[in-house]
Structure 1
């Protein structure tokens, strides 16, 4: 991430008052020859997965500098822009950014990048210039704009990107996705807009985490979670579409080596938990709000009421599905979530729901009842969690054949 402020800099050279050019990822170690590539991102074409920004005149800025999504989450106006996917000529593990922007006092501009590792698999959004833990074949950048003063806008003039490879320090090893017991709250806010631009509907099926590193673009689920009751009697698989309920840069599921902030806290412990129970950070979140509960995840009403059948806020088991490795599939329905069954039968007990767009990990497959779904008719059922099965006909896997071994 590049964060540009008028009064400060991160590997930034100030050219004039309120105008900066920043270069992220100046090589600290030798890059592998032959893997580099450089290109200019188009910052003038705004589309459906961009939030509160305009590219009129070829300059990217906030569309409404008085737009406040959620007072508790963002103090000031926010906007985000996701570049089109750029295919690399050869795999690389680092993407650097050179940004030209006007940043009046009280405004900031940040750049994060992510890399494609599979059909619908991506690295987390990572600060530009930071090496990924694996090589990637294509990349996207996300520009985040912020203003603390209504009517005052930052403006991005250009974004240059380059990819190369550096020696791996902690390469990814095959592993199961991380799971932690987390206090959950219900989001509600029907009619409001999430951090990725989704307008919240009644009984909606998404979750919020307190960091944009695992935020899926609108109408996608590249970052999804499995949320289960603590006895695992019911679960829902849902995309991450919002940031909250407390904090905006607390990727607590990550180890201290890559955790953006609060590196002294145990992996898996949200800052809100420490603030609420232990008075950490004076009992406040990263925006200075007094933390009113220990929540590390917000649940859309549909996840809360229908997926988990919860009646009050409380602890749940959260699996951050993108942190694992192995075959994956993306749920594709007509819109509503699909039932998750206890076995490969349409009459088996319902164990929860899988939301449209959710990206799920496929552990193995079995033969079961014939089902006609989005992708045809089949007797193949995929196990996506402990005693959790869905018909393969509703999963986009990129193959007509099973992508995981037989159970």
Structure 2
């Protein structure tokens, strides 16, 4: 089947290099995406005969346990707009066999390496942006169980429109919900963003690609806290468990699926506890636990010191505001201490590449790390501190 469709969305998104740029009307930006280049940020896609195709070796999201569903991503370069915009329309020329899908995800730059959440642009279903942005980015997601889809052309138009009502502004710390966590395991498997899982790995999986970071980045990270008081900050590198289109942390009005469920309640939890959707996930599988997040083994065992699946409190860092930084270590996670000293008790971990929200800063022990030497420590939460020497990009943090 060959088809074309028009997508209008109100979300911050970014596109990349242009080919021939159509004429733009006042207050809008038009461009054509370059689909001829695949680089290190892209996974599971290839260019052949002038078309972008899903590669036969593309991975399936490990956490979703759907080995037959391959997924590939082409992440386009950020596109600077001629005028601020909060919507992007896309015209896609593609061939999509039965059982396959081509989706256009979009996000907008908020400054300081911060981005809005990825939101899918759908035909006739605009998505609201929280604010107008000057730079957008687009990601093509190709999925298939058998025959691969291909995309031959992608034209884009950024403009401003009236936002939908009903969106809820996040507090400074970000949206936070209590959900059931399971251990992902699957060492040697490949996550949705192309990361190969290693022993005692530090990352998490959420059941929607709206919060999926590219490999070796933490633009979308979470803070996961257990009832024992320990927390880990970890990047979202996989899609699952159970579902792949369940962004349950978002308001019901903007949720991808299951719009009749309360904000903060995963579909798997509703299916398991209340028989929602006949007790099944989006693929028709009987839900065996109420999980709303999967934890890498290192996050599960070392960060939170869990011994079994458990209820945890998850804060979705990208939904917050205020100072933020990125953990940069040689590879191992950064110790989170109970005070501003390397001899204080360890009360959690912050994974390499994870984004952390900073409440305030204090003066403490001088530490040397990847970001130089400093006696400044950042408080990430009550009684939880990390050394500035291992955190990059924080701006505007006030004294505690």
TM-score by length of 2: 0.90
Secondary structure of the corresponding residue to residue 283 of structure 2: coil
Cα separation, 2, equivalents of 1:381 and 1:375: 13
Tell me, yes or no, if the aligned pair for 1:365 and 1:404 is still in contact at 8 Å: yes
- 1:192 shift after superposition: 0.6
2:329 and 2:352 in contact (8 A); partners too: yes
Choose the corresponding residue for 1:114, options 103, 107, 110: 107
What secondary structure, in the 3-state scheme, does the structure 2 residue paired with 1:20 have?
strand
Instruction: Check whether the contact 2:9–2:87 (CA below 8 A) recurs between aligned residues.
Output: no
CA-to-aligned-CA distance 1:100-122 (integer Å, 9 cap, x gap) = 10112332211110111122211
1:217 to 208, 214, 217: 214
Question: Is 1:25 matched up with 2:8?
Answer: yes
> What do the CA deviations read for 1:146-198 (whole angstroms, capped 9, x no partner)?
2232xx11110011122111123457746231111111000011111100111
Alpha-carbon distance in 1 for matches of 2:373, 2:57: 50
Deviation, structure 1 residue 358: 0.5
- Residues 208 and 243 of structure 2 are in contact (CA less than 8 Å); yes or no, is this contact kept in structure 1? yes
Determine the structure 1 residue equivalent to 2:281.
Answer: 285
| Aligned twin of 2:91 | 98
Task: Name the SS of the counterpart of 1:296 in structure 2.
Answer: strand
Residue in 1 aligned with 2:16? none
The match for 1:42 is: 34
1:312 to 281, 285, 308: 308
Which residue, out of 141, 151, 158, partners 1:156? 151
Gaps of 5+ in 1: 1-17, 28-32
Cα distance change, pair 297–69 in 1 and its aligned pair in 2 (3 A)? closer
Retained in 2: the 8 A contact 1:113–1:141? Answer: yes
Q: Which residue of 1 aligns with 2:22?
A: none
Structure 1 position 90, deviation (Å):
3.1
Q: Distance in 1 between matches of 2:26 and 2:387?
A: 44
When the two chains are superposed, the root-mean-square deviation of aligned CA atoms in Å is 1.9
Distance in 2, Cα, partners of 1:191 & 1:26: 37
Could you tell me how far 1:73 is from its partner in structure 2?
3.7
Deviation of the 1:97 alpha carbon: 1.1
Q: Secondary structure at the match of 2:186?
A: coil
SS class of match (1:281): helix
**Residues 206, 303 of structure 1: 8 Å contact kept:** yes
Question: Which SS does the other structure have where 2:225 is aligned?
Answer: strand
| SS of equivalent residue, structure 2 residue 306 | coil
SS of the equivalent of 2:253 reads coil
In structure 2, C-alpha distance between the alignment counterparts of 1:26 and 1:313, rounded to whole Å = 38
CA distance in 2, matches of 1:206, 1:339: 15
SS in 1 for 2:379: strand
Q: Kindly indicate whether the alpha-carbon contact (under 8 Å) linking 2:44 and 2:58 is maintained by their aligned counterparts in 1.
A: no
Per the alignment, residue 55 of structure 2 pairs with 63
Match of 2:161 in 1: 166
Cα gap change, 1:105/1:169 in structure 2, threshold over 3 Å: closer, same or farther? closer
Take 1:110 and 1:185, find their aligned partners in 2: how far apart are those partners?
Answer: 28
Contact kept? 1:66, 1:76, Cα under 8 Å: no
Q: Where in structure 1 do 4 or more consecutive aligned residues deviate above 3 Å?
A: 65-71, 168-174
SS at match of 1:282: helix
The match for 1:52 among 44, 62, 76 is 44
Gapped regions of structure 2 (runs ≥ 5): 11-24
Question: What is the deviation of 1:363?
Answer: 0.9
Q: Secondary structure at the match of 2:242?
A: coil
* Aligned length, in residue pairs: 379
Question: Structure 1 residue 65: deviation in Å?
Answer: 6.9
- For residues 253 and 392 of structure 1, what CA distance do their matches in structure 2 show? 30
Q: TM-score, normalised by structure 1?
A: 0.89
| Contact 1:44–1:57 under 8 Å retained in 2 | no
Q: How far did residue 290 of structure 1 move?
A: 1.1
- Which is further off, 139-148 or 161-170? 161-170
